[in-house]
Amino acid sequence: MIRSAWPTSRVHLGRGAGDSAGTAVQAQGLTKRFGEFTAVDAVDFDIEVGEAFGFLGANGAGKTSTMRMIACLSPISGGTLQVLGLDPMRDGPQIRSRIGLVPQETPSIWNSPSGTTSICTGATSASRGSSCASAWRSCSSSPA
């Protein structure tokens, strides 16, 4: 279970031409419960725009639960969370359209997908609707 003083890895990458200064993710007292089990226990952290930030911890420490809350795939149980200045509980679709997430698990039909395949699959999933097919065609023509 993640606690307030858990280890992280942080590298500043700098800002690109289109990036604005500020906080990309801000969590205060962020908590995730599954019934009686607390997976993430009141953590506080900030991730600035232009930083690469990683969660470190043993299996079952709450890393995936935290990422699922940030990606608006699982509701928070307590505390506050802002992603790109937006509320994941209210603005999930808008947040998901602006972030990228490559899950740890890959579909079982792939033995070892290339990086291009993984990224294109994520892009295809994120593009939604009629543009989904064009995103996949664009990626399919790229070398794997």
Q: Look at 13-22, 38-47, 87-96 and tell me which has the smallest mean pLDDT.
A: 13-22
Question: Whole-number mean pLDDT of the chain?
Answer: 73
Residue 14: CATH number of its domain = 3.40.50.300
CA distances from 106 to 6, 65, 117, 132 (A): 27, 17, 11, 19
Question: Are 94 and 111 in the same domain?
Answer: no
Considering its fold, how many domains does the chain have in total?
A: 2
What pLDDT, in 10s, does the model give residues 46-80? 999 888 888 888 888 999 999 999 999 899 999 99
Average pLDDT of the segment spanning 98-102: 78
Tell me how far apart the alpha carbons of residues 90 and 98 are, in angstroms, rounded to a whole number.
15
Question: Are 39 and 82 in the same domain?
Answer: yes
According to DSSP, residue 20 is labeled P
Q: Do 86 and 109 contact (CB within 8 A), yes or no? A: no
Question: Are 3 and 41 in the same domain?
Answer: yes
pTM: 0.63
